[in-house]
Amino acid sequence: MEFPDLGKHCSEKTCKQLDFLPLKCDACEQDFCKDHFTYAGHKCPFAFKKDVQVPVCPLCNIPIPIKKGAIPDVVVGEHMDRDCTIHPGKKKGKVFTFRCSKEGCRKKEMLQLACVQCHGNFCIQHRHPLDHGCRAESCPASRAGGQATRTSESKPSGALNALSSSWLAQRLRWKVKR
């Protein structure tokens, strides 16, 4: 037994296939087969009302409005050139931010190299206290009792000095023999 009312013919002029599960276009409200139900498949004249695509910027993920008839790639490119907040070629911040405190030195470093005695920030060349003319008197900790210990450390006793120099000489001879 046949069912003459079951299914509909495709509305595409070149197809007219009988389809038992037709699909209705939401723009032009006509029935189409599975091959012609897309807007492009049946060249829908009302597709512009429904088929609205909003391109998204690949850098900042912001939707970019386009005017009717404009090419989305061109509009997105213009947005990336003029309005985009994220620029891949632009530096995000300064890398060398720590400037040397030595008078007359204009070098900058990535990392902070602070002097233990005067707490100034210096470049690699001036990081040691002797290199930047450190004034230990400017540091409050060195004034209190640090000078007494420093003087005893700077002048080792004769026996200790002789011991360390003989040890160093033996160490150098051992390295030369190898």
The alpha helices in 22-157, defined as continuous H runs, are 47-50, 72-82, 140-141, 147-154
User: Taking the complete model, does pTM exceed 0.85, yes or no?
Assistant: no
CATH of 1-52, one of 4.10.1110.10, 1.10.540.10, 3.40.47.10, 1.10.287.1080: 4.10.1110.10
Reported as a single tens digit per residue, the pLDDT across 94-122 is 677 889 988 889 888 888 888 888 888 99
* Structure tokens belonging to residue 40: 């492009």
Q: What is the pLDDT of residue 81?
A: 84
* Structure tokens belonging to residue 51: 């088929």
Residue 132 has pLDDT above 80, yes or no: yes
Q: What is the pLDDT of residue 164?
A: 55
Banded pLDDT at 30 (limits 50, 70, 90): very high
Q: What is the pLDDT of residue 16?
A: 86
Counting other chains too, the contacts that 57-64 makes at CB distance below 8 Å and 24 or more residues apart are 57/84, 59/84, 59/86, 59/87, 59/88, 60/84, 60/85, 60/86
Domain 95-150 class, CATH top level: few secondary structures
Over residues 126-150, mean pLDDT: 60
Over residues 30-48, mean pLDDT: 88
Residues of the chain with CATH 4.10.1110.10: 1-52, 95-150
* More confident position, 3 or 161: 3
Residue 10 has pLDDT above 70, yes or no: yes
Q: What is the pLDDT of residue 31?
A: 92
